[in-house]
Copies of this chain bind each other. A is one copy, B any other.
């Protein structure tokens, strides 16, 4: 489709962005008969009525996020959007008047408003400390303006457009090209802000700027943003469509990760909805094979069983599909994506809907009992514009109590919010983290903590490789922690195979993080007799041209129960290292094992967990706790366990992670409190194959794996202890021939 062929609409109706004239009529006709819609309406009305009572406050901007002026302006745009919608649905002029009065107050101050006094941002806003938040404001306010458009006189509209909306749109675009003209969630917000107001004002030139960016920008090709991300690559396309084209993979994975995907979903989808309403000929929902609708399903799959997003890259834990952005996404996805009934069960869980045509459809679907469960399956999500820049694999398997979920990351860097965490993973049981990704070091909008912005520990700890459950060579982060280098590479998928629900496998390689060293990590979720739950088998094969130190940490939660090896705890705690994140780890104990296995059991949330690792008697077994060199107590003091191999070229890390048993302090009975693994060993290894032996008290199994040929039709054969093992396809789990 040719996006530039947009027709000038005859005479634009209002509202037309997220509400339409016919939609409003349908809503009015259904009032009182669609419980979830009615309930949401009542809640929103109560909230807006309280604000109207409180009176309008439009303070002169001064504070960072978390501070009064920031939070007030944020509340204003959220409320004004709702007031606009209420005016349309309830026909009560007090809501229109509230919108008008507030817009007039903004129009009064805007022309003389200087740039925001806080200087931290690479693109300072006027109402807020960064253009990003100013753009948020305009995205919401445009909707309010659309709703009261016909309530205002032409003179009033002219005044608002001249003194507020046009200069506002100019400021976040022409005046801040380094913010507006790039591929980044910031720019998406900027583009959509301009695009939304362009649609209301029916200004096709401005809309063009939203869709395709500014023609000229003079951005310094070396300029970086606050997070160290490059502003713009040479020749890069910009504008809304480029922001839709590039960061989304064909699978709908957004390269910055789910936390920012969630954040970006709102502008993407609300603008898509508006474009679909005003410019249906653009067929925006079909763009890039329907990537926008696909991305909603992808995002819902990037959550644990409680709906919390996996905190990949910079992600604040606790953000979930209960956020307002996901309410929008689910409703819009249902309405424009062919009424997928499993979305209704998410919407029902969310307990609220959009007060527009899409929310009404969802609420009617729920009222009529159409919902089906949203089943999260094992899934592989490619990364990169063309889906060829690695990816994220999620393996899920039902356990005795809750689902076990592996999240394995072998993606591209993820723009400026990326972490140096090639081949890292996190592991969940239901909504609990078994082995965590630290997430980001930031308390979003909590003023006491650095104004609610990124803390320095996000760079010195959270982004560093040692903060992740992956291999660190020579105490140096992947790509030496260099953003530019890291952004040039991605890991490669070797195998993703979930065809057998009892043996689900993801395998990927990374050969650029440490030049001269290749990492090949294979992780399998295996359901096997003798184990209460599926277990995680984790095999990291390392080949290097040089001798190195390799560390593999596991960040668990809870209380250590037992080890099968001796260790010593120090009299004083010292940091484990001096840089690359190691300076933040206290060394809380060290041991060695001469049994061939290191076993650590811990207890958390009424359950027992054990990691069993193949180790040599030279391997150092190190206990850690996060929190050293943390002068502002910014870090969480979480524990970790690390296996360290020194002076090694080629080697393996082989680990098996079990969830087992239960202990409820009310009943005080511990069941299945011990690991089922009697012995774990590498039974065979050469260049092409590895075989892991998993011995329990009741059986003895081999996991056979082809390292060089991932085809599912190739035949393989190896000999172990003079027994021959044959298999077809990359892997096989089999009993030992006796």
Footprint of B on A, CB under 8 Å? 66, 71, 74, 316-320, 322-324, 443-449, 452, 559-562, 568-569, 571-575, 586, 588-589, 601, 603, 623, 625, 627, 629-631, 633, 636-637, 639, 663-670, 673-674
- The docked-state distance in angstroms from the alpha carbon of A163 to that of B444 is 71
- The docked-state distance in angstroms from the alpha carbon of A392 to that of B454 is 46
Give the residues in chain B near A667, CB-CB below 8 Å: 323-324
Please judge, given known A-B contacts A316-B665, A673-B66, whether A569 and B631 are in contact too, CB under 8 Å. yes
Interface centre among A318, A639, A669 (most CB of B within 10 A): A669
A670 B66 Cβ-Cβ under 8 A? yes
Chain B residue at smallest Cβ distance from A318: B665
- The docked-state distance in angstroms from the alpha carbon of A446 to that of B575 is 32
List 18 A-B pairs, Cβ < 8 Å.
A316-B665, A316-B668, A317-B665, A319-B666, A323-B666, A324-B667, A443-B603, A445-B663, A446-B670, A447-B670, A448-B673, A560-B633, A569-B630, A572-B572, A573-B573, A573-B586, A589-B633, A625-B637
- The docked-state distance in angstroms from the alpha carbon of A194 to that of B415 is 74
A49 to chain B, nearest CB (A): 19
- The docked-state distance in angstroms from the alpha carbon of A572 to that of B587 is 10
A445 B668 Cβ-Cβ under 8 A? yes
A666 B322 Cβ-Cβ under 8 A? yes
Sample of 14 more A-B contacts, CB < 8 Å, known A316-B665, A445-B663: A66-B673, A71-B669, A317-B665, A318-B664, A318-B666, A322-B666, A323-B666, A324-B667, A446-B673, A448-B562, A448-B673, A571-B575, A572-B572, A573-B586
A570 to chain B, nearest CB (A): 9
Chain B residue at smallest Cβ distance from A452: B670
- The docked-state distance in angstroms from the alpha carbon of A569 to that of B575 is 13
Give the residues in chain B near A666, CB-CB below 8 Å: 318-320, 322-323
Chain B residue at smallest Cβ distance from A75: B669
A591 to chain B, nearest CB (A): 11
Shortest 7 CB-CB contacts between residues of A and residues of B: A318-B665, A573-B573, A560-B633, A448-B562, A448-B561, A446-B670, A444-B668
Query: A637 contacts which of B324, B568, B603, B637 (Cβ < 8 Å)?
Result: B637
A167 to chain B, nearest CB (A): 28
Query: A561 contacts which of B316, B449, B639 (Cβ < 8 Å)?
Result: B449
- The docked-state distance in angstroms from the alpha carbon of A674 to that of B68 is 12
Give the residues in chain B near A633, CB-CB below 8 Å: 559-560, 569, 589, 623
Give the residues in chain B near A319, CB-CB below 8 Å: 665-666, 668
Chain B residue at smallest Cβ distance from A562: B448
How many copies make up the complex? 2
- The docked-state distance in angstroms from the alpha carbon of A71 to that of B322 is 43
Give the residues in chain B near A560, CB-CB below 8 Å: 633
- The docked-state distance in angstroms from the alpha carbon of A451 to that of B447 is 47
Give the residues in chain B near A323, CB-CB below 8 Å: 666-667
- The docked-state distance in angstroms from the alpha carbon of A489 to that of B445 is 51
Give the residues in chain B near A668, CB-CB below 8 Å: 316, 319, 444-445
Give the residues in chain B near A573, CB-CB below 8 Å: 572-573, 586
A456 to chain B, nearest CB (A): 14
Give the residues in chain B near A569, CB-CB below 8 Å: 629-631, 633
A258 to chain B, nearest CB (A): 14
Please judge, given known A-B contacts A318-B665, A569-B630, whether A670 and B445 are in contact too, CB under 8 Å. yes
Query: A601 contacts which of B448, B571, B625, B673 (Cβ < 8 Å)?
Result: B448
Chain B residue at smallest Cβ distance from A670: B446
A65 to chain B, nearest CB (A): 9
A559 B636 Cβ-Cβ under 8 A? yes
Chain B residue at smallest Cβ distance from A317: B665
- The docked-state distance in angstroms from the alpha carbon of A630 to that of B639 is 15
Give the residues in chain B near A322, CB-CB below 8 Å: 666
B663 A446 Cβ-Cβ under 8 A? yes
A598 to chain B, nearest CB (A): 15
- The docked-state distance in angstroms from the alpha carbon of A569 to that of B574 is 13
- The docked-state distance in angstroms from the alpha carbon of A670 to that of B74 is 12
A462 to chain B, nearest CB (A): 14
A446 to chain B, nearest CB (A): 5
A314 to chain B, nearest CB (A): 14
Give the residues in chain B near A445, CB-CB below 8 Å: 663, 668-670
- The docked-state distance in angstroms from the alpha carbon of A572 to that of B628 is 8
A583 to chain B, nearest CB (A): 10
- The docked-state distance in angstroms from the alpha carbon of A497 to that of B640 is 48
- The docked-state distance in angstroms from the alpha carbon of A623 to that of B588 is 18
Give the residues in chain B near A663, CB-CB below 8 Å: 445-446
Give the residues in chain B near A636, CB-CB below 8 Å: 559
Chain B residue at smallest Cβ distance from A449: B561
Give the residues in chain B near A449, CB-CB below 8 Å: 561-562
Give the residues in chain B near A452, CB-CB below 8 Å: 670
B603 A673 Cβ-Cβ under 8 A? no
Chain B residue at smallest Cβ distance from A663: B446
Give the residues in chain B near A630, CB-CB below 8 Å: 569
A324 to chain B, nearest CB (A): 8
A601 to chain B, nearest CB (A): 7
Please judge, given known A-B contacts A633-B559, A666-B320, A667-B323, whether A446 and B71 are in contact too, CB under 8 Å. no
B673 A447 Cβ-Cβ under 8 A? yes
Interface centre among A559, A572, A665, A670 (most CB of B within 10 A): A670
- The docked-state distance in angstroms from the alpha carbon of A623 to that of B631 is 12
Interface centre among A71, A448, A603, A633 (most CB of B within 10 A): A633
A446 B572 Cβ-Cβ under 8 A? no
A265 to chain B, nearest CB (A): 14
- The docked-state distance in angstroms from the alpha carbon of A663 to that of B446 is 8
A113 to chain B, nearest CB (A): 24
- The docked-state distance in angstroms from the alpha carbon of A572 to that of B637 is 15
Chain B residue at smallest Cβ distance from A561: B448
Interface centre among A561, A589, A668 (most CB of B within 10 A): A668
- The docked-state distance in angstroms from the alpha carbon of A73 to that of B664 is 19
A736 to chain B, nearest CB (A): 27
Give the residues in chain B near A575, CB-CB below 8 Å: 571-572
A134 to chain B, nearest CB (A): 18
A672 to chain B, nearest CB (A): 11
A171 to chain B, nearest CB (A): 25
Chain B residue at smallest Cβ distance from A635: B559
Chain B residue at smallest Cβ distance from A78: B669
- The docked-state distance in angstroms from the alpha carbon of A427 to that of B444 is 28
Chain B residue at smallest Cβ distance from A323: B666
Give the residues in chain B near A324, CB-CB below 8 Å: 667
- The docked-state distance in angstroms from the alpha carbon of A668 to that of B320 is 11
A112 to chain B, nearest CB (A): 29
A587 to chain B, nearest CB (A): 10
Chain B residue at smallest Cβ distance from A559: B636
